[in-house]
Chain A
Amino acid sequence: MKTKGHACVILGSLSGIAREIAFRLAIKGIPLVLVGRSAEELEIQASDLKIKFGVPVEALVADARDLDMLASLPAECAKMLNGISIGTVILCWGVMYSQKDSEKDPQLLRQNFDINLTSAALVLQAFANWMSSNKKGGTIVGISSVAGDRGRGTNYLYGATKAGLSALLDGMRHRYHGTGLRVITVKPGIVNTPMARGFVNSSSLLCASPAQVAADIVRSIESGSFSIYTPRYWKIIMAMIRTIPERIFLRLKL
């Protein structure tokens, strides 16, 4: 892996996809900082990885809704790592509150944006500042979604947060191009995780496992991709969806 000898910070390590990413990185011997909301669960996740793979794993409690704290996150992670530099940051936290409920409840609606977009912008910019000032290079990965590619009636609030996140990541990639800091936009389709539970039929053909998605993400870091759909067939599906003329799209129940 390009960032050998450096650690990886996983923001939202308890999420369905993040757990699988953490395994794959730990197997490669990469030291980790797990960031999440529950101290108890983070400790358990850290113990599990340390016992199975013998890598250094630190746990840091943080809440994405605590917007004012996010700017100091890179310094806190660095302190825990005690000399090992931060080579990779992977943003995995996110929520998908019910569209119907969010339409009726302004607080809930706002949380979608605070957690998925605003916190992402604050924390990723903080890490970008930190990593570029260290001049060691590195990779920032953000997990967006195919839902951001085109606004659709049944899920546009979540979709809007992801559309924003995709643009943020793409723009960061452009901004830091050539400085040694890479930014990867990851757009998963439908994934069988706790977030999606009940929302999707996990045995349907279009539903991917978190393990598959995590494998694609780790591969993208190693191979220097810019922007990926995972699984890959979503690239074709979304290309088609994006080109449907609006007049026709409006008549579809999506």
Chain B
Amino acid sequence: MTIEVKTNLSGWGRFRHADCRVIEPENRARLTTFLRDRAASGAIARGMGRSYGDSSVLRDGLVIGQKYLNRLLSFDSVHGSIQCEAGVTLEDIIKVSLPYGWFLPTTPGTKYISVGGAIAADVHGKNHHVDGTFGAWVRGLTLILHDGTILDCSSDKNADVFWATIGGMGLTGFIRDARIQLTKVESAYYSVRYHRCANLNSALSLLASTENEYKYSVGWIDCLSRGSGLGRSILMLANNAGLDDLSSSQRNNPLEVRASTPVLEVPFDFPNWVLNPFSVSIFNKSYYFMQRNRQEIVSYESFFYPLDGVSGWNRIYGKRGFIQYQALFPEKTAEAGIRAVLETVSSHGAASFLAVIKRCGEANPAPLSYLHRGYTIALDIPNFGNALLRMIKSLDEILLRNQGRLYLAKDSMMDAGTFAAMYPRKAEFLAVKRKVDPDCFFRSDQAKRVGLCF
């Protein structure tokens, strides 16, 4: 018997909360039986809850937790192929694979996400322009459908369901397990070049001109800076460090897995006034001017996961929570689009000390996949009240005018009309969903809001 427990859930931004009925199946048989016998009220899987909005929240519906479905099934240390249940986290994979010289082919800014979440949100990292998204490295996955049927999928078996599930936000079925191809690495370190760019133009041109030189690239933008300094940023351009690049102490343990205990912990919600335009602009200015142009060898932990060292960092935004707005622009409209977004955000005084820009490469076949060639900018925006919705609407208009689009894994507020305009392959996705989930059993509050339900 699988028992439901009423729990109040939200996304990482803690922007909206909803009471959901959480079940935590102890094993796959319980889950399959549960799905076969369940009453029709809708369900969504939830991994580590790191999506920013309501992608894994379903008001008054069922939320399927991964607490016990988080085991490694096989690992081939010679070929770098790992098979695991969807509740396994990226951290679990690193711990097992790095000592053998294998690392995640691409990773977002936190390792505390589940493999199921990584696939459902088709996550990306600093190397999208070279290696694509996480979904590109999935060699196969097993879904449990709404009625308990088990479906194996890959790019040559049930390929339509496979690609609909990648980036499909859990709406095709419950991802039971997946096989991932990892990437060989010589060391756990990265050779990083830090470069200060005085404005948006110089940041974009540096990202473009170094595209073939650096596998990893990302820019931190001071999004409160205006005028000629609009878009001033610190760019981090990196490649994997070979053994020869390492210091002698690093060479003693080149594949060292870092301890995962956080350095800092945010023990309570900061008062809402802590992050305000004044305090954040001071922080941004100081951070920008403090960064010297330099080259450094840093561990994977510092390069990919700096925020993982601050446990509960979302609490810095206070009880009101925050949203993340992540916009993708194609190359030809990127400069104008990003400029307009930054101007709008700073004119509203929407303080954000985390604004990041990345270069993106080719899209993958998934119908709901987010990235294609261009640039993506991601901003954390504190929930500063009713004016927030108005600002988001004006940002949405900027995107629509410039062929830009938003990322579902970050979204909290997009409406159905905006989503339909941004994702022309929506109908293709829904056709596959109708095939494997004809009653729309798998749904989330976000899916209902953006029009991915029927």
Contact = CB atoms under 8 A, between A and B. Distances in A.
A44 B73 contact: yes
Contacts of A202: 5
B72 A40 contact: no
A197 B71 contact: no
B287 interface: no
Given A197-B3, A197-B5, A44 B71 contact: yes
Interface in A1-31: 14, 16, 19
A96 B267 CA distance: 36
A40 B29 CA distance: 9
B73 A52 contact: no
B28 A40 contact: yes
A197 B24 contact: yes
A171 B3 CA distance: 37
A52 to B, nearest CB: 6
Contacts of B29: 38, 40-41
Interface string A155-182: 0000000000000000000000000000
B215 interface: no
Nearest to A202: B5
Given A52-B96, A197-B5, A47 B26 contact: no
Nearest to A45: B71
A216 B85 CA distance: 28
Contacts of B4: 198
A14 B96 contact: no
Nearest to A19: B68
B24 A47 contact: no
A186 B159 CA distance: 52
B449 interface: no
Given A52-B96, A198-B3, A198-B5, A41 B72 contact: no
B252 interface: no
Contact of B26 (A40, A194, A198): A194
A205 interface: no
B5 A51 contact: no
A48 B28 CA distance: 15
Contacts of B95: 52
Interface in B10-40: 24, 26-29
A40 B124 CA distance: 33
Contacts of B24: 194, 197
Given A51-B96, A198-B5, A38 B71 contact: no
B27 A47 contact: no
A191 to B, nearest CB: 14
Nearest to B95: A52
A47 B73 contact: yes
A16 B68 CA distance: 9
A19 B70 CA distance: 12
Given A41-B27, A47-B74, A48-B73, A194 B68 contact: yes
B383 to A, nearest CB: 25
Contact of B71 (A16, A48, A194, A198): A48
Contacts of A19: 68
A92 B164 CA distance: 42
B74 to A, nearest CB: 6
A51 B93 CA distance: 10
A212 to B, nearest CB: 16
A41 B73 CA distance: 11
Nearest to B30: A194
A48 B68 CA distance: 12
Nearest to B82: A51
Nearest to A47: B73
Nearest to A198: B3
A51 B83 CA distance: 11
A14 B5 contact: no
B71 A47 contact: yes
A198 B26 CA distance: 14
Nearest to B85: A44
B270 to A, nearest CB: 22
B152 to A, nearest CB: 16
Contacts of B28: 40-41
Contacts of B27: 14, 38, 40-41
B75 interface: yes
A44 B74 CA distance: 9
Interface in B66-104: 68, 71-75, 85, 92, 95-96
Interface in B354-373: none
Contact of B72 (A16, A52, A197, A198): A52
Task: Identify which of A14, A48, A202 gathers the most chain B CB atoms within 10 Å of its CB.
Answer: A48
A52 B88 CA distance: 12
A202 B28 CA distance: 23
Contacts of B68: 19, 194
Contacts of B71: 44-45, 47-48
Given A44-B71, A52-B96, 5 more contacts: A14-B26, A44-B85, A47-B72, A51-B72, A51-B74
16 contacts: A16-B26, A19-B68, A38-B27, A40-B27, A44-B73, A45-B71, A47-B71, A47-B72, A47-B73, A51-B72, A51-B74, A52-B92, A52-B95, A197-B24, A198-B3, A198-B5
Closest 3 CB pairs of A and B: A48-B71, A198-B3, A51-B72
